[in-house]
């Protein structure tokens, strides 16, 4: 009799970390500039705790259903068709708005790379932001159109390059951190912090989204709740450490008062890297940062759009022929591309709106599922910690995020201008 081998904890943790760490983190330094380093660290830890806990609540509900059951099955059974429709719409909205965000930022960096490549000492080339967005979108969309395997292979290359360039740049940036800049003791510009705390929440939330991976881990570990729990904690903790290192690298080198041009361009990554390059002592750090940002955006774009592509194909029942995949690709990529051409500087704003919708399916729905499953199923092989108090604590976190995004939209919250 052979015993089935349990997959490694490292593999599951990497699934969570890989699905969590992405281009969303690039918006964090700008969105948290108002609260600066200490405030952003506290907000990141608070967000990490709440999102990790909501993931465990989803795990608790998921274990009451057959292996392979996902949001659609579980939400429909426990919360009804109404919540299932709301949850489905929020997932689609998040995927579309993230696609737009990645096209806007990827287009900006593509523009910069091509301009630098073809500009000489005597003549400067500027292809424009629109062409940068078009090139970025068309090239990467072709991988999604071609096959999932093509996305898989190219993603491995991108993630490998992202890891190398991240550590090359961040190691040197952390070594050059100026404590006066990091703790904002240079006394330049505005000195208030607390009024900007709520504004930072929605963007930080997007940086920790992994709930879509929970059903996959239940299947991966053959319903071993302890292994899934450990993988979630290790994976999200890795993401938290990397995000704090990223905050340290950016907010320890670029003064708080110097974020004005970055904020004016909606947190555009090219603008952030341009502002940071004034304070870097070596060119290769700035180059490594640009490569990291580009590969983070490209890998996130592929991951998000592959999910959106499959969702659209299933929704409209398009077949897998070249014609069917072309129809799917047009519905997947054309709306966010056109939006990007019309509004080329909306990265942080778009990530924030993604946070608003993600709050529903990544925070509020998992908490409601845990509550409903405890009422419906009296015996549980796994129960998330904290009892009913923690359920309401997580729902409050979700409501705070929704309030922050709506209050920001209607001008009820102060915005840090740099």
The yes-or-no verdict on residue 24 having pLDDT over 60 is yes
pLDDT of the residue at 281: 64
- Residue 382 CA to residue 366 CA, distance in Å, equals 15
The yes-or-no verdict on residue 2 having pLDDT over 60 is no
Q: Which two tokens stand for residue 239?
A: 């993401």
pLDDT of the residue at 1: 44
Confidence band for 279, pLDDT divided at 50, 70 and 90: confident
The yes-or-no verdict on residue 40 having pLDDT over 70 is yes
Q: What percent of the chain has pLDDT over 90?
A: 35
Q: Please say whether the beta carbons of 213 and 16 come within 8 A.
A: yes
pLDDT of the residue at 282: 61
Residue with the larger pLDDT of the pair 8 and 267: 8
Q: With the C-alpha atoms ordered 215, 349, 46, 19, is the resulting torsion angle positive or negative?
A: positive
- Residue 174 CA to residue 215 CA, distance in Å, equals 37
Q: Please state, as a whole number, how many other Cβ atoms lie within 10 Å of the Cβ of residue 21.
A: 26
pLDDT of the residue at 3: 56
Q: Across residues 278-302, what is the average pLDDT?
A: 80
pLDDT of the residue at 228: 93
Residue 283 DSSP one-character state = H
The yes-or-no verdict on residue 312 having pLDDT over 50 is yes
Task: List, in sequence order, the alpha helices (H) in 176-268.
Answer: 179-182, 197-206, 214-220, 225-251, 260-264
Confidence band for 188, pLDDT divided at 50, 70 and 90: low
Q: Please say whether the beta carbons of 277 and 258 come within 8 A.
A: no
Residue range 9-410 forms a domain whose CATH class is mainly alpha
What pLDDT digit, counting tens, does each position of 114-132 carry? 888 887 767 777 888 889 9
The domain spans of the chain are 9-410
- Residue 104 CA to residue 127 CA, distance in Å, equals 15
Q: Which two tokens stand for residue 156?
A: 């491995």
The yes-or-no verdict on residue 58 having pLDDT over 70 is yes
pTM (2 decimals)?
A: 0.83
Place of tokens 């998330």: 384
Rg for the chain (alpha carbons), in Å? 21
Residue 253 DSSP one-character state = T
Q: Please say whether the beta carbons of 166 and 299 come within 8 A.
A: no
Question: Across all residues in the chain, what is the average pLDDT?
Answer: 87
Q: Across residues 205-219, what is the average pLDDT?
A: 86
Q: Which two tokens stand for residue 304?
A: 């998000």
What pLDDT digit, counting tens, does each position of 400-418 carry? 999 998 998 888 888 887 6
Q: Which two tokens stand for residue 251?
A: 């907010």
Quote the distance between the C-alpha of residue 341 and its chain's center: 22
The yes-or-no verdict on residue 78 having pLDDT over 70 is yes
pLDDT of the residue at 332: 92
Left if phi > 0, otherwise alpha if psi is -120 to 50, otherwise beta: which for 190? beta
Residue with the larger pLDDT of the pair 147 and 222: 222
Residue with the larger pLDDT of the pair 300 and 188: 300
pLDDT of the residue at 187: 62
pLDDT of the residue at 288: 83
């Amino acid at each position: 009799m052979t015993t089935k081998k349990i997959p490694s904890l490292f593999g599951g943790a990497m699934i969570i970390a890989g699905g969590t760490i992405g281009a969303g983190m690039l918006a964090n330094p700008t969105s948290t500039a108002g609260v600066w380093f200490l405030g952003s660290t506290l907000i990141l830890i608070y967000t990490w705790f709440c999102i990790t806990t909501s993931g465990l609540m989803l795990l608790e509900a998921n274990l009451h259903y057959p292996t392979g059951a996902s949001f659609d099955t579980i939400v429909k059974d426990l919360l009804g068709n109404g919540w299932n429709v709301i949850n489905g719409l929020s997932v689609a909205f998040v995927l579309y708005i993230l696609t737009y965000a990645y096209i806007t930022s990827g287009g900006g960096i593509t523009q910069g790379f091509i301009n630098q490549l073809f500009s000489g000492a005597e003549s400067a080339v500027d292809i424009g932001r629109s062409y940068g967005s078009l090139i970025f979108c068309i090239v990467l969309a072709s991988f999604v159109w071609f096959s999932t395997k093509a996305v898989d292979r190219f993603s491995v290359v991108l993630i490998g390059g992202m890891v190398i360039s991240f550590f090359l740049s961040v190691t040197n940036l952390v070594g050059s951190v100026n404590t006066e800049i990091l703790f904002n003791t240079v006394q330049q510009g505005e000195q208030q912090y607390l009024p900007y705390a709520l504004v930072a929440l929605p963007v930080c939330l997007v940086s920790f989204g992994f709930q879509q991976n929970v059903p996959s881990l239940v299947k991966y570990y053959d319903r071993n709740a302890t292994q899934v729990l450990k993988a979630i904690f290790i994976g999200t903790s890795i993401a938290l450490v990397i995000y704090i290192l990223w905050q340290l690298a950016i907010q320890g080198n670029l003064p708080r008062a110097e974020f004005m041009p970055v904020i004016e361009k909606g947190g555009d990554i090219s603008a952030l890297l341009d502002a940071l390059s004034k304070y870097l002592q070596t060119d290769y750090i700035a180059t490594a940062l640009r490569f990291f940002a580009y590969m983070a955006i490209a890998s996130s774009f592929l991951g998000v759009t592959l999910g959106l592509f499959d969702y659209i194909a299933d929704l409209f029942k398009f077949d897998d022929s070249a014609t069917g995949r072309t129809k799917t690709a047009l519905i997947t990529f054309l709306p966010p591309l056109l939006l990007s051409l019309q509004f080329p500087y909306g990265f942080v704003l778009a990530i924030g709106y993604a946070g608003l919708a993600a709050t529903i399916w990544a925070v509020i729905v998992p908490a409601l599922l845990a509550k409903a499953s405890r009422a419906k199923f009296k015996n549980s092989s796994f129960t998330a910690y904290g009892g009913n108090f923690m359920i309401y604590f997580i729902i409050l976190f979700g409501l705070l995020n929704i309030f922050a995004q709506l209050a920001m939209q209607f001008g009820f919250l102060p915005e840090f201008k740099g």
